[in-house]
A and B are shown apart, each in its own frame.
Chain A
Amino acid sequence: MIKKKMKRQILISILIAIGINPDYATSFQDHGPGLGSGVSSEEIAAWDTSVFPDGEGLPRGEGSVKNGEVLYKSKCITCHGENGLGTTTGAQLAGAQLDLTSEYPEQTIGSYWPYATTVFDVIRRSMPMTAPGSLSDNEVYALTAYLLFLNNIIDEYGVMNASKLPKVKMPNEDGFINIYKIEETFR
């Protein structure tokens, strides 16, 4: 009995040493037929456009508020309105007058979004809705800079790039309660 337990301990130590989380060791029993193919890190890099709040995934490039304004007026204004005030078809992105506890709260990038990197990520992957994926990384940085400017988070001379964007502190960053984490502690 004790021997068996020790064997298990040794096995767990080995698993940890080779980088496998022993918590998941049981799922190895469900090993499938192994039909996946290998993939190069270059291919993954081209495919992986996820951008994290700490800046992981941000590409090279740069864009200014000034360039962003020009782009916004040609590609975004139809849906999101002048100065990001929104229309009946596109969300309000800036210019929140009423705060989050008011009768008619305005949830804009400046008043609501917790991370500036999300702005870059969603523009690059989804916008403009009529031609998603058509903007260059420089253009996405410029639009991100312009939207941060419209929300009074950076000034009109501002520039955004991979090192500056993750450092932007959003006003509502602490406005969220992670319900999953709270429930996890009771599980």
Chain B
Amino acid sequence: MKKDRANGLSLKEHEVAGNGLLDRRLFLLRGLQFGVIANITPTNSLATTATDIDLIGPTWMHEPGEPFSTYGEPSEHEDDVVRFPVQNEMVPGNGVSWTPLHLLEGTITPNGLHYERHHNGVPQINPKNHRLLIHGLVKKDLIFSIDDLLRYPMESKICFIECGGNSNAGWNKQPSQSQAGYFNGLASCSEWTGVPLSVLLAEVGLRKKSKWLVAEGADAFAMQMSIPIDKALDDAFLALYQNGERIRPENGYPLRLIVPGWEGVLNVKWLRRLKVTNRPVMARNETSRYTELQPSGKSRMFTFPIEAKSLITSPSAHMVLKGPSLYQITGLAWSGRGKISKVEISADGGETWGEAALQEPILDRSFTRFRLPWNWNGKPAVLKSRAIDETGYVQPERTELVKKRGRHGFFHYNAITNWHIDSDGFVSHVYDKKENETTDSDINIDSDWD
């Protein structure tokens, strides 16, 4: 059996699926060397050659370093790791900014890179002038200051938030060639800390007919969404902190409603009012938007939980593999219905599948990092990942999803993403061959944020 010289072991005997996918337990072996996956970015193309580098006595070892800082910033050499904003021309506060998932590792999204979806900008709220009103079908209407809420017993939960419109370029007839995060990164994962909603609802005292909550934000859109009271009492909470610090303005400062696992728009930012009702308010963003038109002409409404989804973040579009070698395939999986139980990867376009290693701890409704070693032989290949959650739900192929839902639902696109690697190692986004749709020009829906 041919030995892989670089790694000094036989990789063939560790294959678990076609085209070089290796056993996830191979990570436990020491001395594995992975090939280089480079991002094709201007920064990388300017990389200095080895001969220019003074490794013996670099300048930063011969002069005092920078002084202390009050709030740390990323290295200037990481300035390509940024959100990618897409805004409305006339109303620049209406749009999105995508998390660069393809440039990040682990499971927690840094606060400055958490995705944004605003309908009319980011309000700069002075917390002293902000209140939360809880009223409606309650025994006692109450109003809380932020200082009041900071004195309540708190809980933390690590969970993802994903915009219902994430990955919607997938509905287009031509595969998007944006980097993985720049069309799938309206999803981020944080540790949120705040007051369980059940505690506050107990204080106002729910009346018998209470079935829904209408949540309202203090932004210029006065965002309004209806949430079933059962979910509110189950695990929703009012977050004051994100990853240990107070929530950033663009993520809802000073108070954000967190509805774990349910579509992002329900996680109302800048929360100022909760009205307890017996029915939904039928707001603009639960009727004319965030509903999914089906081929029948009928539309799905109140499709709250995010279905299981996964995405290979490396290698992914715009990256290049530097020659045949052993590579690490890595990515993220998540489900709004619970924990991820398994992620499978294919390196032969879906013919055979191997099980990826999942990073512990695997948390409920959170990003789950997966990894698998892959021995690339230098020939064209198609990589896929599919998530399976603890309910047994299996992430669908795009053909399957489009067949079931049509192409005009706009929201809740969660199909498998294919990355094609050509013989030069360049990675691009492709649909399955059987999905080849007409090549005539088509309206691109991913820029339609209004």
Are B296 and A112 in contact, CB atoms less than 8 angstroms apart?
Answer: no
Are B90 and A39 in contact, CB atoms less than 8 angstroms apart?
Answer: no
CA distance in complex: A61, B296 (Å): 39
Given contacts A91-B450, A113-B288, A177-B300, 20 further A-B contacts (CB under 8 A): A21-B207, A24-B201, A24-B202, A24-B233, A27-B198, A27-B201, A30-B202, A31-B203, A36-B143, A37-B143, A39-B143, A44-B135, A79-B91, A121-B281, A132-B220, A133-B222, A176-B299, A177-B299, A180-B228, A180-B303
How many Å from the CB of B303 to the closest CB on chain A? 5
- A179-B300 contact given A39-B135, A51-B281, A91-B450, CB 8 Å threshold: yes
How many Å from the CB of A15 to the closest CB on chain B? 9
| Residues from chain A with Cβ under 8 Å of B228 in the complex | 180
Task: Determine if A50 is an interface residue (Cβ-Cβ < 8 Å).
Answer: yes
Task: Determine if A114 is an interface residue (Cβ-Cβ < 8 Å).
Answer: yes
Are A101 and B295 in contact, CB atoms less than 8 angstroms apart?
Answer: yes
Encoded as 1 (CB less than 8 Å from any B CB) or 0, chain A from 54 to 96 comes to 0000000000000000000000001100000000111100000
Are B287 and A35 in contact, CB atoms less than 8 angstroms apart?
Answer: no
- A118-B283 contact given A32-B152, A175-B298, A179-B301, CB 8 Å threshold: yes
Encoded as 1 (CB less than 8 Å from any A CB) or 0, chain B from 250 to 285 comes to 000000000000000000000001010101011110
**Contacting residues of chain A (28-51) with chain B, CB-CB under 8 angstroms:** 28, 30-39, 41, 44, 47-51
Identify which of B120, B282, B304 contacts A132 (C-beta below 8 A). B120
Chain B residue nearest in CB terms to A88: B89
Are B148 and A36 in contact, CB atoms less than 8 angstroms apart?
Answer: yes
Chain A residue nearest in CB terms to B412: A179
Chain B residue nearest in CB terms to A79: B90
Task: Determine if B393 is an interface residue (Cβ-Cβ < 8 Å).
Answer: no
Task: Determine if B103 is an interface residue (Cβ-Cβ < 8 Å).
Answer: no
Task: Determine if B291 is an interface residue (Cβ-Cβ < 8 Å).
Answer: yes
How many Å from the CB of A30 to the closest CB on chain B? 5
How many Å from the CB of B198 to the closest CB on chain A? 5
List B residues at the A interface (Cβ < 8 Å): 88-91, 94, 119-120, 133-135, 139-144, 148-149, 151-153, 195-196, 198-208, 210, 214, 216, 220-222, 224, 228, 233, 273, 275, 277, 279, 281-284, 287-288, 291, 293, 295-304, 408, 443, 450
| Residues from chain B with Cβ under 8 Å of A28 in the complex | 202
| Residues from chain A with Cβ under 8 Å of B201 in the complex | 24, 27
- A177-B301 contact given A20-B208, A36-B203, A89-B88, CB 8 Å threshold: yes
Chain A residue nearest in CB terms to B408: A105
Are B148 and A48 in contact, CB atoms less than 8 angstroms apart?
Answer: no
CA distance in complex: A130, B204 (Å): 36
CA distance in complex: A10, B359 (Å): 50
| Residues from chain B with Cβ under 8 Å of A5 in the complex | none
Task: Determine if A168 is an interface residue (Cβ-Cβ < 8 Å).
Answer: no
| Residues from chain B with Cβ under 8 Å of A32 in the complex | 152-153, 195, 199-200, 202-203
| Residues from chain A with Cβ under 8 Å of B300 in the complex | 176-177, 179
CA distance in complex: A33, B200 (Å): 9
List A residues at the B interface (Cβ < 8 Å): 16, 19-21, 24, 27-28, 30-39, 41, 44, 47-53, 78-79, 88-91, 99-101, 104-105, 107, 109, 112-115, 117-118, 121-122, 125-126, 129-130, 132-133, 175-181
Are B279 and A52 in contact, CB atoms less than 8 angstroms apart?
Answer: yes
Identify which of A36, A41, A47, A112 contacts B142 (C-beta below 8 A). A36
How many Å from the CB of A40 to the closest CB on chain B? 9
Of all A-B residue pairs in the complex, the 3 with the closest CB atoms, nearest first, are A36-B142, A180-B302, A125-B222
Identify which of B94, B199, B284, B303 contacts A31 (C-beta below 8 A). B199
CA distance in complex: A115, B295 (Å): 22
| Residues from chain A with Cβ under 8 Å of B287 in the complex | 113-115, 118, 176
CA distance in complex: A144, B355 (Å): 55
| Residues from chain A with Cβ under 8 Å of B148 in the complex | 35-37
- A129-B120 contact given A19-B208, A35-B151, A39-B135, CB 8 Å threshold: yes
- A19-B139 contact given A27-B198, A180-B228, A180-B304, CB 8 Å threshold: yes
How many Å from the CB of B335 to the closest CB on chain A? 15
How many Å from the CB of A37 to the closest CB on chain B? 5
Are B90 and A126 in contact, CB atoms less than 8 angstroms apart?
Answer: no
CA distance in complex: A31, B139 (Å): 14
